[in-house]
Chain A
């Protein structure tokens, strides 16, 4: 049995694509990417989830042996002055 952990860039990108394929189109999906790990050449996965979405997501803790960090964020907005900040 292996423990999930950060992986080099190519492996992390492959896992990211798999996560994106699995969740893109879900109402709660707000993005997927790579998060920096403690070592510069290693990465974990990052999943952004809209906490206000009606669907109750089943969130992964890892993908392809790489930990998934989940961030709950409803919406990004442009950052001109007076445009608001959600």
Chain B
């Protein structure tokens, strides 16, 4: 039986002294759950995908463009829950940016980053995804062994889908603007459509969501992008999770 982690025993990074958003209240001592809104203080919002660890700390895992502002960041930058665009009554600084895989330009590896818990995190639920269930702690090892998937994200909540493509090469994503494009190209990517296909598996704001193999409940991929095809089917891109964890030198919390 899995236990609920009720406190944070590792040494956490001290809270930053911040005054980021004036006029809203700050909420210390929070309980963290995966699948909700989060973000770097200068982005809109994405999804807190999963809880990961190394020998030193617990971290939240999401995308570079969610936690590290697409490389426009500094180590220690505050990570907010909810993400800045979702702040209404209050927010918490739940983590400080620790590491990110640079997006750069041209050939990319993964769009991923981690942020170490701040002292304000009192409790967290490392394996529970409301509406989906309890995940296993070791990710899927074979990227071709998955068909049905589920995810919980900030915008669309719990959705279910299927793998529509494995091993996609030459996938270009524009991290810039119309005025100033910044194309990053990824190989060996995964793509998903909703089940049924007319129901989007993800939408903007779901970046960073953990994609879970519905059969085994093992973590499988990390949402980072998507687009609408000419038939009106929304297609979600994901990085194969073992590659994300290897790049960042972390594992799912054991």
Which residues of A29-73 have CB atoms within 8 Å of chain B's CB atoms?
A: 29-36, 40, 43, 46, 48, 51, 71-73
Interchain CA distance A27-B146 in the complex, whole Å = 32
Which residues of B166-194 have CB atoms within 8 Å of chain A's CB atoms?
A: 166-175, 189, 191
- Residue numbers in B under 8 Å from A29 (CB-CB): 170
B contacts with A, residue count (CB < 8 A): 54
Interchain CA distance A9-B46 in the complex, whole Å = 34
Of A16, A35, A74, A80, which contacts B45 at CB under 8 A? Answer: A80
- Residue numbers in A under 8 Å from B83 (CB-CB): 81
A2 on the interface (CB 8 Å rule)?
Answer: no
Contact A33 B167 (CB under 8 A): yes
Of B39, B205, B231, which contacts A79 at CB under 8 A? Answer: B205
Which residues of B132-183 have CB atoms within 8 Å of chain A's CB atoms?
A: 144-145, 147, 154-155, 162-175
- Residue numbers in B under 8 Å from A16 (CB-CB): 167, 169
A contacts with B, residue count (CB < 8 A): 34
B237 on the interface (CB 8 Å rule)?
Answer: yes
Nearest-Cβ distance from residue A82 to partner chain B, whole angstroms = 4
Name the residue of chain B whose CB is nearest to the CB of A69.
B165
- Residue numbers in B under 8 Å from A3 (CB-CB): none
Contact B65 A80 (CB under 8 A): yes
User: B residues bordering A, Cβ < 8 Å?
Assistant: 37, 39, 43-46, 63, 65-66, 70, 83, 85-86, 111, 144-145, 147, 154-155, 162-175, 189, 191, 202-207, 223-231, 234-237
* Other contacts beyond A76-B171, A78-B111, A78-B207: 8, CB < 8 A: A24-B170, A32-B170, A33-B165, A46-B164, A77-B204, A80-B39, A81-B45, A82-B44
